[in-house]
Chains A and B, each alone.
Chain A
């Protein structure tokens, strides 16, 4: 898919895998197994779009985000960004690339250094990339605070003096400081209260428009992902099972997991809820240490066939830029 859309694609992920070894022994550690957190992903993120990455806990969505940014070095595969393979970059070269790609985190309480002032937190990226110093830096920090809807007068305060939503705004300002092209938003609203969530979603949307940002938006909440994304990728146990336009995904989901996930999301309307047919999946997500053979979803799939237990279905375009990995489609 990358070849046809080379000019507009910003990030290309090819065969991305991230395994975390499980070791035993203290002095002589030997590997006994792998947690296959991300198990072979191929997709692209297009310039200016929001690609939603949705899945349940343990499906590898956060690991994917971190592996793309090389915060976890991938076990296999390539990540092309601005024409460079990030996986092959080392040390200073990689550090310099970070100026163009940033991250916003889930937990606004954990993602800010409690011992640094807001000014230092937001100013640090400017300093380490030699963008601004001294007075210039201070002015830029104040401008950034204003951009994210905070009072510029807050520069000398510490994170604990802010509410969750305000802290998340600080995190957004830090990510924006270096004028990045690409931001990985890792569950940026799931730790916030409902009424605050919408504030942050709107802020992210406004900033995208204003600064022409590209987002990878990671979340477990399908309604939020569908709201903010242009295209949505659904992940299950280390693999993307379906990837398509937000409306196509809602109107004509093809993968049985997507269908089940969609039907499980409650809709705040009692009249609709009364009429909805739920697909209730049986059992739990299997362990990523020993994923099922063939299609990873076959143990819970309502339309499982014999072939699903043996062969891993290919992730392919079934027409109209609608990608799916299922034997039954």
Chain B
């Protein structure tokens, strides 16, 4: 499979009254055609900002992208002109956001909102667009799509609105779908519906997906590969199974130890990660996880490890990953 999107050394910062917030600090990752990449991390880790930067959706100012390269179909999306990026957005790369209510315009019907991009990007007529919009709504499992297409967003429930958002995102058959915590605002049974739909559509349409989430459970059932992010860095990258079976970064390990599992046998104690993530304005010189790490050494305080250590097809940004591995196997 070929590489669809290649992000190299992407940096994003925000210039605020308090100082420069280093939200993304040199992130490199790629997405292959037809694969699902999971971007996992807690709030403020830079997972959303990095994909918004890829789409050039960061408000500038206060945002700024001082370095980086985003190669998509032979061109650098950070360098193309505004018209060209608009022809990519919503057309070749589509996005679904966390809150379906604020991403839909409350005063326009669903038909108007889906048809808009069909008419704009694909040059369809009104009738063609309407027909396609109904097809799309059926595809995402909205019952009685013909009857509901002229409804307004408030007439739909949260789960149904998120389906509409997915239908809109898929309207131009994108090659890449970016899903930014699309199920976080939904209940688990509705979340299960949405994940089910996305998996089916992916099988049918074969697009690549970047799924952003803080929930390791969701990503375990969805992704082919996973990038774990922390303080604006990708700190571990491997296949889904490898990450869960053999986590090498102390942070990844810590995350796994701090979530209760439904299938846990005994009333076992959780092992939380102590402390807080670093201040993104005054970034530490060394490893950003230094303060909270159980495996830290002097080297970690002074040198930030690059993401090129680790095992075969498993990259980790930790000087002491072998110690982590040993300590884990002892448990």
Contacts and interface: CB of A to CB of B under 8 A. Distances in A.
Quick check: do A and B touch in the complex, using CB within 8 A? Answer: yes
Contacts of B159: 284
B1 interface: no
Contacts of B271: 198
A267 B262 contact: yes
Nearest to B271: A198
B272 A56 contact: no
A198 B221 contact: no
B270 A265 contact: no
A198 B188 contact: no
Contact of A260 (B189, B216, B217): B189
Given A195-B42, A199-B274, A227-B264, A56 B188 contact: yes
A265 B258 contact: no
Interface in A249-308: 250, 260-274, 276, 278, 280-281, 284-285
Contact of A264 (B189, B257, B267): B189
Interface in A122-168: 163, 165
Contact of B187 (A197, A220, A250, A269): A220
Dominant secondary structure of chain A at its interface with chain B: helix
A223 B272 contact: no
A7 B195 CA distance: 47
A56 B196 contact: no
Interface residues of A, number: 45
Interface in B240-264: 240-241, 244-245, 254-264
Interface in B254-289: 254-264, 267, 269-274, 276
Interface in A206-228: 220-224, 226-228
A194 B262 contact: no
Contacts of A262: 262
B259 A273 contact: no
B217 A266 contact: yes
A184 B50 CA distance: 39
Interface in A158-215: 163, 165, 193-199, 201-202, 205
B70 interface: no
B240 A223 contact: no
Contact of B214 (A165, A193, A266): A193
Nearest to A225: B260
A57 interface: yes
Contacts of A201: 260, 270, 272
Contacts of B263: 250, 267, 272
A223 B220 CA distance: 15
Given A266-B217, A280-B196, A194 B270 contact: no
B164 to A, nearest CB: 14
Contact of A270 (B190, B244, B254, B274): B244
Contacts of A276: 221
Nearest to B214: A194
A265 B258 CA distance: 17
Contacts of B192: 263-264, 278, 280-281
Contacts of B160: 284
Interface string B183-225: 0000111111100100000000000000000111111110000
B322 interface: no
A200 to B, nearest CB: 8
Contacts of B274: 199
Nearest to B156: A284
Nearest to A278: B192
Given A193-B42, A194-B259, A280-B193, A222 B188 contact: yes
A195 B262 contact: no
Residue among B43, B160, B240, B261 with most chain A CB within 10 A:
B261
A280 B271 CA distance: 32
A1 to B, nearest CB: 23
A255 to B, nearest CB: 13
Given A197-B258, A198-B271, A284-B157, A264 B42 contact: no
Interface of B: 42-43, 157, 159-160, 187-193, 196, 214-221, 240-241, 244-245, 254-264, 267, 269-274, 276
Interface of A: 56-57, 163, 165, 193-199, 201-202, 205, 220-224, 226-228, 246, 250, 260-274, 276, 278, 280-281, 284-285
Given A224-B260, A266-B220, 19 more contacts: A196-B272, A197-B259, A198-B271, A199-B272, A220-B188, A226-B262, A227-B260, A227-B264, A227-B267, A265-B217, A266-B221, A268-B219, A270-B241, A271-B241, A271-B245, A276-B221, A281-B189, A284-B190, A285-B187
